[in-house]
Amino acid sequence: MILISIAVVLTLIGSLVYVRYDSRKQVGINYYRQWSKYYVKKQNKKTAYINSQPTARNPVSISEGHGYGMLICALGGENGIVANEEFEKLNNYYLKHRIASTALMSWKQTIYKNKVQAEANNATDGDLYIAYSLIKASNVWPQERAKYLKEATAILNDILKYNYNPQLKMLTVGNWANEGSKFYNMMRTSDVVPQQFDAFYKLTGNKKWLEIKRSMLGYLSKLSMQSKTGLIPDFAWVTKSQVKSVAPNTVASKYDGDYYYNACRIPYNLAQANDKLSKEILNKMMNFFMKRNKVYAGYYLDGKVIDRHKSETFGAPLLDAAINHPRKYDKLFQQEKFLVMKPLVKTNYYEAALITLVAVQVDKILN
């Protein structure tokens, strides 16, 4: 149970009192149902995927979105609003779309009239969330515990086999960024998930996960200290002596070296952790946003705005951090609470997933 002040709880209840979706007035179930309706697509009675491009002619599933979907279901299961059957449908889809001879999920699948064309590479962030969701699900549905933990262990073993740089003790961005690739030393900063790393160590007993946590948090801290804002870029180059932002268009966009659509997840990742370094990195970043009256769609590391339109994708992780740290970030809570006071967006799976993750956490507070 998240510790939260009575004042913040009363404010939250008052803010969300309009919700009338069911007799329990649960925010989480309201958003889960919207999210499921818009983004979860059933292939058959036993299999479903997350459609990351709901407006496209052919549906597209990506492992990142699938991992978020499985985590939403597992967290919803903790609150009693999601049945094991719904989680199993997503899990079955993951199992059917692993890369040959591995437990890692194909990072992208395009569905043509229910026939799937899958990519042969993985993306580390997707597999991290799938493994973590399986661990969470094992506690929610104990009848499946052994199965889910076996699957999670297999994923974690293959991440260390295919997505790990042992010299730098960090995760690479995917199996394609191998030792022979120029991207072997590149870190996706949103792959730093300290709470998950702890869970992975607890499951496997492999101390590499604690080493990965220490080293990757250390790299994140160095990036944080390089600016007054504490903002962190989407991607960074790492060596044993330094860490620095990548140049524009290194891998995904001209904003690869800025606080953009990958790094915006960092407040959510750090807010779940209890270690000192995670809190320090988060606090510096949150202090930057505490001085702003709006959250825009991307920032240069010096704090200048990239795209001057208010962004719920960037706001949702900040709201989550504010909920996890009551009183300290109450101003941001008051500013961004509207995110769970309006209908869920129908055409942006990423924004919808981040908001739904916040909403299912709100349920824990209200209950």
Q: Which residues are catalytic?
A: 125
- 354 contacts: CB under 8 Å, gap ≥ 6: 68, 265, 268, 313, 316, 317
- 355 contacts: CB under 8 Å, gap ≥ 6: 31, 312, 316, 339, 340, 344, 345
Q: How far apart are the first and last CA of the chain?
A: 9
- 161 contacts: CB under 8 Å, gap ≥ 6: 102
Evaluate whether 246 touches 233 at the Cβ level (below 8 Å): yes
Kind and range of the H or E run holding 354: helix 349-366
Kindly report the number of other CB atoms within 10 A of residue 205's CB atom: 8
Look-up: residue for tokens 């869920």? 344
Evaluate whether 86 touches 103 at the Cβ level (below 8 Å): no
* Position 304, amino acid: K
Kindly report the number of other CB atoms within 10 A of residue 138's CB atom: 20
Beta-carbon-side half-sphere exposure of residue 73 (alpha carbons within 13 Å): 29
The beta-strand segments (E) located in the chain are 40-44, 47-50, 60-62, 108-112, 115-118, 164-165, 170-171, 186-188, 235-238, 243-245
Distances (CA, A) of 274 to 71, 193, 270, 358: 20, 12, 8, 18
User: Would you list the DSSP string of 34-62?
Assistant: HHHHHHEEEEETTEEEE-S-TTSSS-EEE
